[in-house]
Structure 1
Amino acid sequence: MGGIGEPGGGPGPREGPAQAGAPLPTCCWEQIRPHDQPGDKWLVIERRVYDISRWAQRHPGGSRLIGHHGAEDATDAFHAFHQDLNFVRKFLQPLLIGELAPEEPSQDGLQNAQLIEDFRALRQAAEDMKLFEANPTFFALLLGHILAMEVLAWLIVYLLGPGWVPSALAAAILAVSQAQCWCLQHDLGHASIFRKSRWNQVAQQFVMGQLKYGKKKRRYLPYNHQHLYFFLIGPPLLTLVNFEVENLAYMLVCMQWADLLWAASFYSRFFLSYIPFYGVPGALLLFVAVRVLESHWFVWITQMNHIPKEIGHEKHRDWASSQLAATCNVEPSPFTDWFSGHLNFQIEHHLFPTMPRHNYHKVAPLVKALCAKHGLNYEVKPFLTALVDIVGSLKKSGNVWLDAYLHQ
């Protein structure tokens, strides 16, 4: 068998990229498994083996996302996140170092090969139904409705004056409009699936589904009470701090000029519209109020599908079952669909992150049928139950941390 490392041994001598036209070295999973270490990452896509060790840090989705698939088959994740596969393959070609031997299975570990085959057939059916194609009219109407909400908020202050009640109502409308704007941007560029949204970035404030802080005797905060202080530092502050600082910095570093232009246009519209009513200090106060209300929307709506679900990063798990374990749906209704920006269809969103949101309800019956065939749990919760489960999950995770902290 062609040499990419020695069977049963360590990484072995590293070879350069495969030469164009030359036969590819073959390897088995036993040779691939050791290459899942920091600075030493291989992965398999469509039975070809790639050395992403150096390139992972430049991966547009982040090294953590692509590194999660180290030493395993990443074919379905590759298809899920990339719309133009031929374009992406140009970046993969220099990283190609071999291919699986003919007698090797496409996936390492005990996986349901029939489930994987059926899921890929489902994805192909969705492609044939053109469910990955965006409807320009839908997004034009969405943008128009966002701007209309901004006009409505301004009219309330213009007609009723800058009192407390009109200001609070305008702030609420602006917060929802900005939440819808975030959904629009989220549609156009989905971030990592495995990161539990923003919560992994505030890990010292909250612990969810993990024992490591307890086992290591770390106590940055009294996590057994996190379901209580969540109301003080979770919904009120996450968007205000994270979006205004980190997201703007990310746009600058990654040179996302379209997003920066849209953000700048909102700031311009906002302050030019409200400084005449409130003055500079009052307009800044209104801006903070809008962001705090938006933060409440962001935390409750995005986390009702995530925090109560499985958080671990289990290896060697097929794409479909891993996504179904990590999230759930919330019962659809005209209000829930609109208010959540269709994020209540989180199962479909995770399985097909590049699918436009207006097609989730079309692919949902196909996903349900797949789950029924293979005995997978397609979980759908009532809206209020999903919100309450956030707090319950925080309390449960906090008690798990406390038990590990005191007894392990």
Structure 2
Amino acid sequence: MSNEFSWEEIRSHTSPDSRWLVVDNAVYDVSRWAQKHPGGSRLLSHYAGQDATEAFRAFHLDQSTVAKWLAPLRIGRVCSNDPERLVAMRTDFERLRKDAQARGLFKPSLVFYALMLAHIFALEAIAYACLRFWGTGWLPYIVALCLYATAQSQASWLQHDFGHLSVFHNRRWDGWLHQLTMSYFKGASAHWWKHLHYQHHSKPNVMNKDPDVRIQPLFVVGKTMPKETAANPKSPYVPYHFQHRYFFAIGPPLLFPVYFQIATFRHAISRRCYVDLACMALFFAKIVVLYRPLLGLGGAFLYYFLVRMIESHWFTWVSQSNHIPMEIEHDRAEPWLALQLHATCDIEKSPFNDWFTGHLNFQIEHHLFPTMPRHNYYKIQPDVQHLCQKYGIRHEIKPLWRAFCDVIGSLRHSGEIWHAAYHAHHMD
């Protein structure tokens, strides 16, 4: 096809009615096809008017097959005039990705994942046995709570692997096991997770695109969001300069048992995800059948709520430690390497940290290679560090305790920015 388009023209096609994107210098009109996209239409809209080549390679395992679906949507080529440094960065990163494939770093260890699944089953079974055989006194109750919350937290990391197709690299097998671990093991919608999480990966810490930083009116994060919130007359008054304090009360304790609980059911019902709803119903039926005879109906659901609350603390601190202290800005259409590094950081490797975080202490490597099995992240980390050093991009690795402290420090800093901007705006 001989049509050539300038970047100026491509960037003008960002509306739902006219949505263009670029992959390998070819221009595609995905306006009508967006609703059919397995990752959701929003994922494509986040790259409308931009070069989606690196995101395309990161998310799609069988690129040749996907290219056949794209072929009918191609409308021409882009008149590329990218700076040499940008071209070199993208070339080097693609070389690193191909090298990782050649080294077998995308090949999963099925033994590893079988052990992960087995230890989740074991933790859940032992938790039930504590109450079934030792009674419901305070000591077995607390032990059972901790064991079941641990099983649920580890199931969160395992469903994350299946959701990214990083175990079997097969949409059917990984999809079925994702349904099992997310909807049946955890009582949440697998479709809801994909809908949000794929957006997060495509544009991490990008305001109005990453749902994980769409947290107003409860919190403001980064440097830009507090200023814009303070200047917006429609924004309700919230004492954000105290957010680093009330975070402990409404953040970690309530994220899973309240916010996510409502969101996952609302999504599954509104999107008519009947398989998700059926598996979720089986999860809650299991809770009632197993724990009602021991704790009563109300006691069974209180037990479930407390398990979710413990798990919520675990998940919140781990997930936010890698992102909230990093840059949070509007979309700057950065290349994949810079985009992911500005939004993520790593936590030091250790057997405990690897297990506790589900290997998401290698958040940088996971974001760069989302389909790579998690047990191989540490192998690619030195190469990523070398590439970052070459282009002057900071690759940050923190101790676990400092990463947790930085969550509170960043909330305090963002709150102070809001407070200063709010008073400056209202004094005018």
TM-score w.r.t. structure 2 length?
Answer: 0.83
SS of the residue aligned with 1:282?
A: helix
Instruction: Look up the match of 1:387.
Output: 404
Deviation digits for residues 225-268 of structure 1, max 9, x if unmatched? 111111111111111124323224445637483x6666455434
Correspondence for 2:328 among 299, 302, 311: 311
Instruction: Look up the match of 1:77.
Output: 55
Instruction: Look up the match of 2:256.
Output: 239
Instruction: Look up the match of 2:219.
Output: 206
> Aligned equivalents of 1:242 and 1:129: distance in 2?
42
Structure 2 counterpart of 1:365, one-letter code: P
Q: CA deviation at 1:110?
A: 7.6
Give the 5 Å matches for 1:7-406: 23-37=1-15, 39-101=17-79, 104-105=80-81, 107=82, 111-190=85-164, 191=197, 192=199, 193=201, 194=203, 196=205, 199-209=212-222, 210=225, 211-217=227-233, 218-251=235-268, 253=271, 255=273, 257=275, 263-406=280-423
SS of the residue aligned with 2:219?
A: coil
SS of the residue aligned with 1:132?
A: coil
Deviates more, 1:355-364 or 1:82-91: 82-91
> Aligned equivalents of 2:321 and 2:343: distance in 1?
12
> Aligned equivalents of 1:146 and 1:358: distance in 2?
17
Q: Is the 8 A contact 2:204 2:343 kept in 1?
A: no
Please list every run of 5 or more consecutive structure 1 residues that lacks an aligned counterpart in the other structure: 1-22
Instruction: Look up the match of 2:171.
Output: none
Q: CA deviation at 1:115?
A: 1.7
Deviates more, 1:61-70 or 1:227-236: 61-70
Structure 1 counterpart of 2:380, one-letter code: V
Deviation digits for residues 312-365 of structure 1, max 9, x if unmatched? 133231110110110000111111110111111100111011111111112112
Structure 2 counterpart of 1:267, one-letter code: F
Q: Is the 8 A contact 1:216 1:405 kept in 2?
A: no
Instruction: Look up the match of 1:12.
Output: none
Deviates more, 1:173-182 or 1:110-119: 110-119
Aligned residues: 381
Deviates more, 1:341-350 or 1:235-244: 235-244
SS of the residue aligned with 1:345?
A: helix
Q: CA deviation at 1:81?
A: 1.2
Q: CA deviation at 1:162?
A: 0.6
> Aligned equivalents of 2:313 and 2:379: distance in 1?
29
> Aligned equivalents of 1:70 and 1:225: distance in 2?
37
Q: CA deviation at 1:38?
A: 5.5
- Which structure: greater helix fraction? 2
> Aligned equivalents of 1:262 and 1:331: distance in 2?
36
> Aligned equivalents of 2:331 and 2:323: distance in 1?
16
> Aligned equivalents of 2:22 and 2:363: distance in 1?
27
SS of the residue aligned with 2:28?
A: strand
Instruction: Look up the match of 1:20.
Output: none
SS of the residue aligned with 2:361?
A: coil
> Aligned equivalents of 1:69 and 1:404: distance in 2?
31
SS of the residue aligned with 1:83?
A: coil
Deviates more, 1:169-178 or 1:237-246: 237-246
Q: CA deviation at 1:160?
A: 2.8
Structure 2 counterpart of 1:398, one-letter code: G
Deviation digits for residues 128-172 of structure 1, max 9, x if unmatched? 122223222221111111010001111222343112232122112
Q: CA deviation at 1:179?
A: 1.2
> Aligned equivalents of 1:374 and 1:337: distance in 2?
28
> Aligned equivalents of 1:243 and 1:365: distance in 2?
36
Q: Is the 8 A contact 2:213 2:221 kept in 1?
A: no
Please list every run of 5 or more consecutive structure 2 residues that lacks an aligned counterpart in the other structure: 165-196
SS of the residue aligned with 1:92?
A: helix
SS of the residue aligned with 1:50?
A: strand
Deviates more, 1:277-286 or 1:184-193: 184-193
> Aligned equivalents of 1:321 and 1:59: distance in 2?
26
SS of the residue aligned with 1:44?
A: strand
Structure 1 counterpart of 2:63, one-letter code: L
TM-score w.r.t. structure 1 length?
Answer: 0.86
Deviation digits for residues 366-406 of structure 1, max 9, x if unmatched? 21221222222110010010001111111111111222222
Matched-pair identity in %: 44
> Aligned equivalents of 1:261 and 1:87: distance in 2?
32
Larger Rg over CA atoms: 1
SS of the residue aligned with 2:76?
A: strand
